[in-house]
Structure 1
Amino acid sequence: MPSENTASAAASGVSVVLVHGAYADGSSWADVIPLLQDEGIAVTAVQNALVSLDDDVAATRRALDLQGGPTVLAGHSWAGTVISEAGAHENVAGLVYVAARAPDAGEDYGALAGRYAAPPASAGLVHSRGFAQLSEEAFLADFANGVDPRRARVLFAVQGRIADTLFAARTSHAAWRDKPTWYAVSKQDRTTTPDLERFLADRMGATTIEVDSGHLSMVTHPREIADLILAAVAHVRGAVGGR
């Protein structure tokens, strides 16, 4: 049964849009989605092409256009860049970052990340004809560390290949400067350095949790990630109800 807070959130029309990161697709949220739906929340998962920031932002905005009211926008990994830009949408009332990038407007995120130790996964990129993917070894050991090996191999099979130029894109907007934020740090992350995640969460003044997981916390710890998103939904519901 939905809790009182989340039932009220659903009644107020608060919805959730989930955005996946690089080397993944929308199915990476498959364990979180039913937990949100069980609480009466309308959920949409975006499918990103991972070819350009503009394309991924456009896909996210199309999903936001379909929402009937205030929306919590959540992004994992690369999608933190996407939601920082797309979060300017009028329907977005809160942002949730899951082991995610969170660049400032115009910021060279690569230079920022370069101030921290290089995560192991970055050594496993395989490039071909303008696109890149993680090798199976790097995917299983560094991107999906902590995931059941059988499940991890499925995720490897559906991994989203990224354009070589994807990570060089810069945002023109940082929605986290204008809207309430939440952040889930992955303490065992081998794809994004945990100390970088902590810096980003602190810089945006986010309500922060730390999850004892690798990069794919929404796969290994879906309850914790769903609860963080539900906390954002409850906050938005309170803000809407207080108007």
Structure 2
Amino acid sequence: MSTTPTVVLVHGAFADASSFAKLIPELLDSGVKVVAPAVPNRSLTGDAAYIASVVRQIDGPVLLVGHSYGGAVITVAGTEENVTGLVYLSGYALAQGESLGQLQGGFPDSDLASALVYTKFPVPGAEDGTDVSVDIEKFPAVFAHDIDPELARVLAVSQRPLTGLAFGEPAPYAAWKTKPSWGVVSSSDHTINPEVERFGYQRAGAKVTEIDSSHLVMLSHPVQVADIIREALAVTTGFRAAAAG
């Protein structure tokens, strides 16, 4: 097996892998191997199974980085044998048996709660499912208030929705129980209450960094996020990445 680590970037709800567009060059330029798969956003267990399948096909150690809902996904997929650690970005660090709704329910709602839009999609042989997205007009303020307005406008109309099913689905595993973790709290987050992030990270025993950022911390502060990932790589694999630039 290769000893060269790979960073797998797992995007969240209402976004896709392009949400890592500023972070990826930082990592590549410092010699880090990166994979940023498209998460189906259909169910927590299904999405985690897909990411786990990606991880299993990588030769060598893997550091999982999950943004937002992607944090819940890596919490489950991170039990794969070659995963060495977890990095949460404005994310959900769920406990075993806990759902997104349960974790969020213990804290006051963020601005996201009043900005959600629900639409139907067909499910073969079953009742229609429900997709959840963010109101396009409210997206910049709720999701991306410190991002270039032109980019925020594009992100608003190119969302990858999350099914309503995923909000109530319990996590069958919590990889942070056996894997070291790092957590970035976006202290100006209007999508997830920052207290939700702090609580989950503290419970997981993560090394926590607070950044005054919107929910899209990897777009507004890519250098700081890359530094945290490089640190996690060094601690979990011994890989010393060069600072980009």
TM-score, normalized by length of structure 2?
0.90
The residue number in structure 1 matching 2:180 is: 180
Larger CA deviation: 79-88 vs 113-122? 113-122
Contact 2:84 2:237 in 1 (8 A): no
Question: Is there any run of 5+ residues in structure 1 with no aligned partner, and where?
Answer: 1-10
In 2: Cα distance, 1:93 partner to 1:237 partner: 7
Work out which of the residue numbers 69, 72, 80 in structure 2 matches 1:78. 69
User: What displacement does 1:21 show?
Assistant: 0.2
Does the 8 Å CA contact 1:46/1:59 hold for their aligned counterparts? no
Equivalent residue in structure 2 for 1:19, among 1, 4, 10: 10
Structure 1 stretches of 4+ with a deviation exceeding 6 A read none
Listed as ranges, the matches of 1:132-171 within 5 Å are: 132-171=132-171
1-side partners of 2:158 and 2:25: how far apart? 20
CA contact (8 A) 1:48 1:55 kept: no
Instruction: State the partner residue of 2:29.
Output: 38
Q: Is the Cα–Cα contact under 8 Å of residues 119 and 192 in structure 1 kept in the other structure?
A: yes
Which sections of structure 2, spanning at least 5 residues, go unmatched?
121-129, 240-245
Root mean square deviation of aligned Cα: 1.4
Partner residue of 2:93? Answer: 102
Q: How does 1:185-224 map to 2 (within 5 A)?
A: 185-224=185-224
Matched position secondary structure for 2:224: helix
Tell me how many residue pairs correspond in the alignment: 229
Q: Partner letter of residue 62 of structure 1?
A: S
Structure 1 residue 122: Cα displacement:
1.6
Aligned: 1:123 with 2:114: yes
- 1:172 partner amino acid: P
TM (norm. structure 1) is 0.90
Q: Compare the two structures and name the one with the higher helix fraction.
A: 1
Query: In structure 2, what residue type is equivalent to 1:31?
Result: K
Report if aligned partners of 1:44, 1:63 keep a CA contact under 8 Å in 2.
Answer: no
SS at match of 2:36: strand
Counterpart code for 1:95: L
**Amino acid corresponding to residue 98 of structure 2 in structure 1:** E
Measured in 1, the distance between the counterparts of 2:211 and 2:13 equals 20
Q: Corresponding residue for 1:6? A: none
Q: Partners of 2:139 and 2:198 in 1: how far apart? A: 23
Name the % identity. 41
Residue 84 of structure 2 corresponds to 93
Residue 228 of structure 2: aligned partner: 228
Alignment of 1:39-78 (within 5 A): 39-78=30-69
